[in-house]
Chains A and B, each alone.
Chain A
């Protein structure tokens, strides 16, 4: 990574040899299947770590005038895929509650892209995630998790309901099925490549 500033867009073979961990965020409403998706594809049992916080660290809730200093633990689950020695893909399940947006800021910084899991029974739950990634111009795909018994939705309808542009992929998926999750991730990476090279002059 030394002298990285001199050649940022096209690193040489030498700088690529440095260990690199790429981040993919997995977002969606509570119970939409984030942890399941990460667990399905991770080569290791999803690692679990925690972040300790005080209310003041959260910063976004309207707690003006309230002097509480309750400490909260945010669980952060993540999985790993080793691409080759010293190149890893990390999947981070984003904390569900809106008040943890600041953690999303860190997670999305420099990230490759995001998967927004949509549960068709509660499609509105993924609106905040879609808004968030659109605002940050982070490439994302919407994965419609087809639960047993859930009505299968037409991707075009989901796209309309979420107000997505034509470029954002919408894929049907079963978060428990490895082939299906692989499909979601390859769609995301392909989409992210397109986005990255579109923005290069």
Chain B
């Protein structure tokens, strides 16, 4: 039984605004996702209605596949707030969140070599 809680009744200030974005929730809907899980905006035949500006910004950022950590940094929001927003968008079918490949299990030698070359090129 998980009992991680992040909401506090002390030191409100900015937290009130932040958790206002999530309706007070500190954990996202559904399966948890990694910091570098890849978020993609779903292609939809219609404009989704009733989204707040943060949601819209996420949809705009993730037209290109973007890792969760990058989404948070671009939004300027804490990670767990970002995750709640992403969880909402996922349950509404507006984004997909692909788990990252684990380096030790799924990255082949060619990718390693590419990474090496990429670093040397810098």
How distant is A176 from chain B, measured CB to nearest CB, in Å? 15
Docked complex Cα distance between A144 and B110 (Å): 29
Within 8 Å by CB of B104, from A10, A49, A107, A110, lies A110
How distant is A168 from chain B, measured CB to nearest CB, in Å? 16
Given the known interface contacts A52-B15, A54-B6, the answer about A106 and B35 at a Cβ–Cβ threshold of 8 Å is yes
16 CB < 8 A contacts A-B: A11-B101, A11-B108, A18-B38, A18-B98, A20-B107, A47-B69, A47-B70, A49-B73, A52-B15, A52-B78, A52-B81, A69-B9, A89-B118, A106-B35, A186-B119, A199-B104
A123 touches B (CB below 8 Å): no
Docked complex Cα distance between A195 and B103 (Å): 11
Docked complex Cα distance between A50 and B38 (Å): 19
How many interface residues does B have (CB within 8 Å)? 53
Given the known interface contacts A4-B106, A41-B122, the answer about A49 and B112 at a Cβ–Cβ threshold of 8 Å is no
Residues of B within 8 A of A76 (CB): 69, 79
A-contacting residues, B53-67, CB 8 Å: 65, 67
Q: Which residues of A contact B (CB under 8 A)?
A: 1, 4, 8-11, 15-16, 18-23, 41, 43, 47-54, 56-57, 59, 69-71, 73, 76, 78, 80-84, 86-90, 92, 106-107, 109-113, 178, 182, 185-186, 189-190, 192-193, 195-197, 199
Given the known interface contacts A1-B98, A192-B103, the answer about A83 and B118 at a Cβ–Cβ threshold of 8 Å is yes
Given the known interface contacts A83-B118, A110-B102, the answer about A54 and B36 at a Cβ–Cβ threshold of 8 Å is no
Task: Tell me whether B65 and A86 are in contact (CB under 8 A).
Answer: yes
How distant is A89 from chain B, measured CB to nearest CB, in Å? 6
Interface centre among A22, A23, A49, A113 (most CB of B within 10 A): A49
Closest to A193 in B: B112
Residues of A within 8 A of B117 (CB): 83
B109 touches A (CB below 8 Å): yes
Task: Tell me whether A189 and B115 are in contact (CB under 8 A).
Answer: yes
Residues of B within 8 A of A71 (CB): 6, 8, 10-11, 15
Docked complex Cα distance between A53 and B27 (Å): 12
Residues of B within 8 A of A52 (CB): 6, 15, 18, 26, 78, 80-81
Closest to B113 in A: A193
Within 8 Å by CB of A90, from B11, B18, B67, lies B67
Q: Which residues of B contact A (CB under 8 A)?
A: 3-11, 15, 18, 26, 34-36, 38, 40, 65, 67, 69-70, 72-74, 77-82, 98-112, 114-120, 122
Task: Tell me whether A89 and B115 are in contact (CB under 8 A).
Answer: yes
Task: Tell me whether A51 and B79 are in contact (CB under 8 A).
Answer: yes
Residues of A within 8 A of B108 (CB): 10-11, 16
Residues of B within 8 A of A15 (CB): 106
Docked complex Cα distance between A70 and B10 (Å): 7
Task: Tell me whether B35 and A73 are in contact (CB under 8 A).
Answer: no
Task: Tell me whether B35 and A84 are in contact (CB under 8 A).
Answer: no
How distant is A15 from chain B, measured CB to nearest CB, in Å? 8
Docked complex Cα distance between A14 and B20 (Å): 41
Task: Tell me whether A56 and B3 are in contact (CB under 8 A).
Answer: yes
